[in-house]
Chains A and B, each alone.
Chain A
Amino acid sequence: MSKRIDVKDLNVYYGKFLAVEDVNINIDAKSVTAFIGPSGCGKSTFLRTLNRMHEVIPGARVEGEVLLDGDNLYGPGVDPVTVRSQIGMVFQRPNPFPTMSIRDNVLAGVKLNNKKISKGEADVLVERSLQGANLWNEVKDRLSKPGSGLSGGQQQRLCIARAIAVEPQVILMDEPCSALDPISTLAIEDLINELKDQYTVVIVTHNMQQAARVSDKTAFFNIAGTGKPGKLIEFGDTPTIFSNPTEKATEDYVSGRFG
């Protein structure tokens, strides 16, 4: 239940502005890939092109190919909704639906699409997803309470539970820990380690230690200057990127000389 992603010659635009230039990357199934790089270098923008969330912004478009197990996401006639149901996403700020209970938040992917689900199946799905997100023990007694009443870290894990409840092939995470304290961050990092047994995980992070801790492979993005497009500088095994990078810019960044 996980697929690989291959990106070929991808250019990402906001209107006429070229935001990310010429990315080629191969992301293995059942692995954790981290994107690192300074702010504004296009990591998040690139991540959002992997499940066609980029085009939600008016004027945004891409050129090139993103292949999910060989199928081009941007091929003619591909429905972005189908793509997104296979490639889930967790955002930087926890965003549970404020009108829904914890249980309904987990079931959101099913219920919002009006799929029929029996109460028993729903109970199983809720428990499995919340356990998958390491949240079950904390909320099992208050599933009918609103999701917005949880703490920030719990809300973020609720969002992860919501994402895995639709059983995607790939999970994208856009700086999922940047708004969280160290303990919640640890809980989510442990969770990412467990998730990679079943899913392909791609995570954007500003925290290099976090990239080193959770990822199998790391991609370093950089930008030549303001107004210039972001580029993929180096992509490789995480230990290599952090201890023995080929590019000078990567070494400067991971050793803290800039950024």
Chain B
Amino acid sequence: MTSTLTPVRKRSALTKGQLPKTAPYIVLAVALILGAAILALIGFNAFGWGLVSAILFAAGLVGWSLVVEGSRKAKDKLATCLVVGSFLIALLPLVSVIWTVLVNGLPGLLDPGFLTTSMNGVTGAFDNKTVEQGAPLLGGIYHAIVGTLLITVLATLISVPVGLLTAIYLVEYGQDRALARAITFFVDVMTGIPSIVAGLFAAAAFFAVVGPGTKTGAVAAVALSVLMIPVVVRSSEEMLKIVPNELREAAYALGVRKWRTILKVVLPTAISGIASGITLAIARVIGETAPILVTAGFATTINTNVFSGWMASLPTFIYTQILNPTSPSNPDPSSERAWGAALVLIILVMLLNLGARLVASLFAPKTGR
């Protein structure tokens, strides 16, 4: 009787050698220690330590894998190291920006009255007192928040109808006509307009039509819409294009007119994408500085009328506080206010992005049974 037992083997014939699961951690620890040792020889600094350790880690892991697992797995490990490394490099500035703004901006934001008062009547004397005698910091960014919101809302009110109607024309009626191709070309050109040029255009247009020296929130809103319209056109166009033609044909076959089909079938189907595109366009222009500086000027008082008088906004507030501190001899209070305003601006943009996601999920076509 022959034995049917297969010989006991240490590992399957289908596998090669494998690194232990803890291998990356072991290599990481060794790389960190070695990196610290090397840096100690030439003078220690955190950035160099990270860089040397990362290189040592990649080399160590790939080399070890090459010896134990063979070249295919080693190449895979090398690619993984490169991808993760690129990701970390890309993340570095983002984390650094958020960290810096948080650290510098929180004291300003936490000052009582920072969000609810303007800079009206706040002079250098108060700032000197704050620095020299420890008096509470006066002044705030209420006027700048109001200005930013009003200018952005007006810019949105101008850009969304123009942009959305343009996109509808391009997708539903354009059909590769000369006019449609020309519009697409000019929208692409508009996307590349530097923001200061948009600001100068709006200022020049209002100087010509209304009168020289016209600087109001409305002029700034026009400048911002020049920047917003191409973004809205582009994103809405993409969204309208992905609405399946079958839905349009289904509506036509029911005897529904084209404009009603667009209004009641195509737009509702695409509305979530369009809404989030618009929100992202708003987030894009809310931080513009140069076009607002040349169109709305800067103010220290609350101005809620976009059609008359200079208007403050968060970016121009930051700019003027840093460049022309309220008290030239003691610039620290001004810079605290500027950082606080920067933090508020970042929070606003983040809220807008969150809002875009919310809007997209609210309007998305319903599924489920």
Q: Do A and B come from one complex?
A: yes
Residue ranges of A at the interface with B (Cβ–Cβ < 8 Å): 51, 53, 56, 58, 81-82, 84-86, 88-89, 91, 93, 95, 97-99, 108-109, 111-114, 142, 145-146, 148-150, 159, 162-163, 166
- Could you list 25 examples of A-B contacts with CB < 8 Å? A51-B253, A56-B248, A81-B256, A81-B257, A84-B252, A84-B253, A85-B254, A88-B254, A89-B249, A91-B253, A93-B246, A95-B244, A95-B249, A97-B250, A97-B269, A98-B366, A99-B265, A108-B254, A108-B256, A109-B254, A112-B264, A145-B369, A149-B368, A159-B250, A163-B253
Give the distance in Å from the alpha carbon of A156 to the alpha carbon of B200 in the complex: 57
Whose C-beta in chain A lies nearest to the C-beta of B267?
A99
Cβ contact of B249, chosen from A56, A58, A150, cutoff 8 A: A56
**Does any Cβ of A come within 8 Å of B330's Cβ?**
no
Residues of B within 8 A of A91 (CB): 246, 249-250, 253
Residues of A within 8 A of B249 (CB): 53, 56, 89, 91, 95
**How many Å from the CB of A141 to the closest CB on chain B?**
11
**How many Å from the CB of B350 to the closest CB on chain A?**
29
Residue ranges of B at the interface with A (Cβ–Cβ < 8 Å): 175-176, 244, 246-257, 260-261, 264-265, 268-269, 365-369
Query: Do the beta carbons of A113 and B246 come within 8 Å of each other?
Result: no
Query: Do the beta carbons of A163 and B254 come within 8 Å of each other?
Result: yes
Query: Do the beta carbons of B365 and A112 come within 8 Å of each other?
Result: no
Query: Do the beta carbons of A109 and B255 come within 8 Å of each other?
Result: yes
Whose C-beta in chain B lies nearest to the C-beta of A95?
B246
Contacts A51-B253, A84-B254; A112 near B261 (Cβ below 8 A): yes
Cβ contact of A145, chosen from B248, B250, B368, cutoff 8 A: B368
Give the distance in Å from the alpha carbon of A150 to the alpha carbon of B368 in the complex: 9
Residues of A within 8 A of B269 (CB): 97-99
Whose C-beta in chain B lies nearest to the C-beta of A109?
B254
Cβ contact of A148, chosen from B252, B255, B265, B367, cutoff 8 A: B367
Residues of B within 8 A of A58 (CB): 175-176
Residues of A within 8 A of B254 (CB): 84-85, 88, 108-109, 112, 162-163, 166
Residues of B within 8 A of A89 (CB): 249, 253
Q: Given A58-B176, A95-B244, 4 more contacts at CB 8 Å?
A: A81-B255, A108-B254, A113-B256, A113-B257
Give the distance in Å from the alpha carbon of A112 to the alpha carbon of B254 in the complex: 9
For the A-B complex, the count of residue pairs with Cβ-Cβ distances under 8 Å equals 89
Query: Do the beta carbons of A113 and B260 come within 8 Å of each other?
Result: yes
Query: Do the beta carbons of B366 and A112 come within 8 Å of each other?
Result: no
Whose C-beta in chain B lies nearest to the C-beta of A90?
B253
Cβ contact of A85, chosen from B255, B261, B264, cutoff 8 A: B255
Residues of A within 8 A of B255 (CB): 81-82, 84-86, 109, 113, 166
Residue of B176, B255, B256, B269 ringed by the most chain A CB atoms within 10 A: B255
Query: Do the beta carbons of A112 and B253 come within 8 Å of each other?
Result: no
Whose C-beta in chain A lies nearest to the C-beta of B272?
A99
Residues of A within 8 A of B244 (CB): 95
Whose C-beta in chain B lies nearest to the C-beta of A80?
B252
Query: Do the beta carbons of A146 and B250 come within 8 Å of each other?
Result: no
Residues of A within 8 A of B256 (CB): 81, 108-109, 112-113
Query: Do the beta carbons of A97 and B265 come within 8 Å of each other?
Result: yes
**How many Å from the CB of B123 to the closest CB on chain A?**
57
Whose C-beta in chain B lies nearest to the C-beta of A146?
B366
**How many Å from the CB of B229 to the closest CB on chain A?**
27
Contacts A99-B269, A145-B369, A149-B369; A108 near B253 (Cβ below 8 A): no
Give the distance in Å from the alpha carbon of A108 to the alpha carbon of B261 in the complex: 11
Whose C-beta in chain B lies nearest to the C-beta of A145?
B369
Give the distance in Å from the alpha carbon of A93 to the alpha carbon of B235 in the complex: 28
Residues of B within 8 A of A85 (CB): 254-255
Give the distance in Å from the alpha carbon of A88 to the alpha carbon of B250 in the complex: 10
Give the distance in Å from the alpha carbon of A159 to the alpha carbon of B247 in the complex: 11
**How many Å from the CB of A94 to the closest CB on chain B?**
9
**How many Å from the CB of A83 to the closest CB on chain B?**
8
Query: Do the beta carbons of A114 and B365 come within 8 Å of each other?
Result: no
Residues of B within 8 A of A166 (CB): 254-255
**How many Å from the CB of A174 to the closest CB on chain B?**
10
Contacts A85-B254, A95-B244, A166-B255; A112 near B367 (Cβ below 8 A): no
Q: Which 3 A-B pairs have the closest CB atoms?
A: A85-B255, A98-B365, A89-B253
Contacts A95-B247, A97-B247, A112-B260; A148 near B365 (Cβ below 8 A): yes
**How many Å from the CB of B141 to the closest CB on chain A?**
41
